[in-house]
Structure 1
Amino acid sequence: MQDFDVVIIGGGPIGIACGLEAKKQGVSYVIIEKGPIVNSLFNYPINMQFFSSSEKLEIDEIPFISKEAKPKRNEALEYYRRIVTSNNLNIHLFEKVLQVEKGDQSFTVETDKDQYNAKNIIVATGFYDLPNKINVPGEDLPKVSHYYKDPHFYASQKLAVVGASNSAIDAALECWRKGAEVTLIIRGPEVGQRVKYWVRPDIINRIEEGSIKAHYNSTVKEIKPDEIILDTPEGELTLANDFVLALTGYRPNFAFLEKLGIQLSADEKRLPTYDPETMETNVSGLFLAGVICGGMETHKWFIENSRIHAPIIMKAIKQKMQMAEKDS
């Protein structure tokens, strides 16, 4: 068993920021990531462009230079990978945390490869791993996906895109431009207001000219191998269909948080309990960092406004360590 002052669960941008801060403060640490470096970003669509400018995605004041003001996925992967390698961060990749147990003085973290002992735990796991299901018959068919990668796959196919936010709108536009016959299924009365400001007019124009079909105030009732059935204001509608992209958002792993003993709000927001001055949860020595702090309010925290969590947390951990030394 390896001993550390802190185990950081999650090797995304904020987990990396926590590792940098730990190294700076002389706090022994390990970052455990179940996939590659910045796994969530790696799984973003190939052509994705960030809403934020490159300087707002910087961590530890390390410059992020991109070709355009708003960088693309491949540039972000390069930026964060270089930070990890050039700073020789202690990160264990493709290692999955199985359970975390709290003892009297420390935590025991068991993974599928090893076991660790740590006085503190930082959970920086984001929310991209668990999609919000639409819970209809046929959602488990092979033609249905909750993740979108490359528009080439859908060329010359009848594609239904469920959703009205950035991921759904980006997919609809890209796939249409690669030759897919795209239909948008939108639960509300319009395209989402949070869609990137340079993209929203584009999708509205494509809908108005008839290039992309859109069904507003509509939901999916059932998905069949060659069809999709909708509930629309005009009644039930059956469309010929080859593939479905159900891009209806994602959620944190609440079961994991609850298993750790973190209290969540009883309402639909499922907000975790933590002290904003230290980011420490109701479990002593257990901290939260990044977008996971927002519960179901996944639009609340981003890289740009949660990168401050790293120095806040490490300051609190350092103070705890100093107090322990005085008491010993």
Structure 2
Amino acid sequence: MHCYDVLIIGGGPCGLAMAIEAARNGLDHLILEKGSITESIRRYPKRMRFFSTAENIEIGGIPFPISGVKANRDEALQYYRKVAGYFHLNFKLFVTVDRAEKQEDGTFLVYTPTGETYQAKNVVLATGYFDVPRLLNIPGEELPHVSHYYDEPFKYSYTNVVIVGGSNSAVEAALELYRHDVNITLVHKEPDFRQTVKYWLIPDVKNRVKEGKIKTRFSSIARSIGPDHVVIENLETGEQETLTADFVFLLVGYIPDATLLQRCGVTLDPVSNVPSYDRETFETNVPGLYVCGTVMAGIFTEKVFIENGREHAAAIADHLAGRTVRKVKELIERI
């Protein structure tokens, strides 16, 4: 069995950045990705535009030229694919990883559900967080007209849609659906939209709410979902209301796959699910096993993104190469 210097689990932007750093340092690498290249971005809403400017989501020092300031989904997919090709990154796509186990000789065996096994001296977990939606754990959440992902509006024209959530994904979906003749009601547990909503969306959505074109139920939560309705409860008054719903989007965020981390032997904080790792090298409690990107954030996914997650790769590569580890630029509070 070939033994790679570093095996990277996850082919998103941070996983690609890690592979680029490995290649630059002469480290034999392999990326195992359960979907396509940058699968999470491919699954974004089709008209999604990034919050960060293009230069802040570049990887490998390759410029990201676009006509505007902020890239959209399609531009990002094209860019990351071209960068991966430019650096001749080594991929195995549509391969799911079950676990990575440290062996007596210090190497890792990486197992897949199909029985394929890979060997590596070091493993980097760069799996992001988009695969595991936050669940409300309410009756009806599993019904076929309920989804934790929004794609595009055309299917839903002239129907009644309830959106649960008040952050970027919920606001973007509400605005796009409204513009395609969908009757929207947005339910959010807080008294207003989240402060982290993209600044250019706030005037738009608030004006649509003021006009009555997007209905809102703030300070409210969903209690149950039926085949054609959602029961919500106002947190201030305790009163319940039944909303007509042909489709329901539960856009309340996503979290890293804690079970994969645990199967790899990584210790997690029992409350936050933040893994145990060195703040400079990003090596976990398992020697030779690293975390890169949002996977290290636990439930605090808003604190790590491409803009700062891509920098973890250089620090990990320094550690693998035995150099002094470069400090990761502090763009956010420490988790």
TM-score by length of 1: 0.95
Alignment of 1:32-47 (within 5 A): 32-47=32-47
1:308 corresponds, among 300, 305, 311, to 311
Q: Structure 2: give runs of 5+ residues left out of the alignment.
A: 324-335
Partners of 2:217 and 2:321 in 1: CA distance: 54
Partners of 2:115 and 2:40 in 1: CA distance: 21
Q: Report the Cα offset of residue 113 of structure 1.
A: 6.4
Task: Read off the aligned partner of 1:283 and give its amino acid letter.
Answer: V
CA contact (8 A) 2:12 2:126 kept: yes
1:249 corresponds, among 216, 240, 253, to 253
Q: Structure 1: give runs of 5+ residues left out of the alignment.
A: 321-328
Name the residue aligned to 1:22: 22
Alignment of 1:231-270 (within 5 A): 231-232=233-234, 233=236, 235-267=239-271, 269-270=272-273
Q: Does 1:297 align with 2:300?
A: yes
Deviations 1:12-65 (A, max 9, x none): 001111111111100111000010000111110000000000000001110001
Partners of 1:24 and 1:113 in 2: CA distance: 31
Q: Report the Cα offset of residue 2 of structure 1.
A: 2.5
Alignment of 1:147-162 (within 5 A): 147-162=149-164
CA contact (8 A) 2:231 2:240 kept: yes
Q: Percent identity?
A: 43
Name the residue aligned to 2:189: 187
Task: Read off the aligned partner of 2:267 and give its amino acid letter.
Answer: Q
Name the residue aligned to 2:110: 109
Partners of 2:206 and 2:281 in 1: CA distance: 43
Partners of 1:314 and 1:86 in 2: CA distance: 19
Across the aligned residues of Structure 1 and Structure 2, the Cα RMSD in angstroms comes to 1.1
Partners of 2:286 and 2:95 in 1: CA distance: 24
Q: Report the Cα offset of residue 164 of structure 1.
A: 0.3
CA contact (8 A) 1:2 1:115 kept: no
Name the residue aligned to 1:224: 226
CA contact (8 A) 1:95 1:113 kept: no
Task: Read off the aligned partner of 1:211 and give its amino acid letter.
Answer: K
Q: Report the Cα offset of residue 149 of structure 1.
A: 0.4
2:283 corresponds, among 254, 276, 280, to 280
Partners of 1:225 and 1:307 in 2: CA distance: 43
Aligned-partner SS, 2:56:
helix
Name the residue aligned to 1:324: none
Aligned residues: 319
Partners of 1:255 and 1:99 in 2: CA distance: 9
Deviations 1:172-230 (A, max 9, x none): 00001011000000101001110000001111111111110000111111111111111
**Divergent runs of 4+, >2 A:** 111-114
1:215 corresponds, among 192, 199, 217, to 217
Deviations 1:87-120 (A, max 9, x none): 2110111111122111121100122363211110
Task: Read off the aligned partner of 2:185 and give its amino acid letter.
Answer: T
CA contact (8 A) 1:44 1:148 kept: yes
Aligned-partner SS, 1:299:
helix
CA contact (8 A) 2:98 2:260 kept: no
Moved more, 75-84 or 202-211: 202-211
Partners of 2:269 and 2:96 in 1: CA distance: 27
CA contact (8 A) 2:8 2:125 kept: yes
CA contact (8 A) 2:160 2:183 kept: yes
